[in-house]
Structure 1
């Protein structure tokens, strides 16, 4: 992360925090059987594959590839009427998330935090707007971290396992 004796830049720190959250997302959803993955433990009805899809498309893809990078293909995938059905299996959802995570990290490489985002989804947020890439990445980190908490709780309710942040691993029930 750092270059020699120089401390890491703010962009490097933000990218490292996102990478840590991505490891957490993939870790807390690892080894989940399809029956549990397809089950919902919340009144809204979301499942683990749905939440991974939401994180991959509505968060990583939207905020990095579409908003920051202005990639036309990403913008099209983020349109409200785009065909973005949630993956059918937890394995597909994890693969999709991992792919979007890698793509997001690529966008963050050498990012000018003070620059304005390349594109803004006017039709999604009304007058609310983030003015710099730093604001966009900060917003993305909050979104992903919030949903990591949801995934943690859902996993514990589904099969009793939980993610141990300090050990960086999934801990079985009673462990």
Structure 2
């Protein structure tokens, strides 16, 4: 009989989301990693940069363990959406390496604290206190998976690559002709409601 470790389970789900997000940037040109493909400017490298900022705050400041490096795009005085794109001075390698350093810092917080440890989220408008590590883990898992979903769509728009991760796409094993026919069928059905 194996014992259940809820913290390890939550940590594993966070790790899955992190890996999925980074996988979406792999193998792309610098341009494609940065290219905005929605009207709100959503781009792959920006999603990674944002995720680094999110984790640095929730697993850092919230529990009195601030991430030791400055993240100017997360400051109150930063321009809107500064965390959602990489400037010309921020390379893909820099952003990914930063995200990995933030992971290590976040992982140290997760490992050091119990799920019932209470923190304070200063940027939440109400009820800043009394948020447990458990609640913060669930919140960050949901947010990271949400952004990994954004990355799924953006990557598919860049080069057609789709799926959950490199070793398990979680997609039907089908060729280009099947996908084309499938898309046509979906479009034809939608047209009936125009």
Q: TM-score band, normalised by the shorter chain?
A: 0.7 to 0.9
Q: Give the superposed CA RMSD.
A: 2.9
The residue aligned with 2:98 is 96
Distance 1:73 1:106 in 2: 11
TM-score normalised according to structure 2 size = 0.72
**1:143 is matched with which residue?**
143
Q: Which residue of 1 aligns with 2:40?
A: 44
Does the aligned pair in 1 maintain the 2:57–2:66 contact within 8 Å? Answer: no
Partner of 1:54: 50
Q: Using the TM superposition, give the Cα deviation of residue 156 of structure 1 relative to its aligned residue in structure 2, in angstroms.
A: 0.5
Q: Is the 8 A contact 2:42 2:154 kept in 1?
A: no
Counterpart position of 1:71: 65
1:128, distance to aligned residue in structure 2 (A) = 4.2
Segments of 5+ residues of structure 2 without an aligned counterpart are 180-194
Aligned length: 164
User: 1:130-159 CA deviation, whole Å, 9 max, x = no partner?
Assistant: 621111111111110100100111001011
Distance 1:24 1:112 in 2: 26
Point out the more displaced range, 90-99 or 25-34.
Answer: 90-99
> Residue 15 in 1 paired to residue 25 in 2?
no
Cα separation, 2, equivalents of 1:32 and 1:41: 14
Q: Residue 95 of structure 1: CA displacement?
A: 1.9
Mark the CA change 1:157 to 1:8 in structure 2 (over 3 Å): closer, same or farther.
same
Bigger Cα Rg: 2
Gaps of 5+ in 1: none
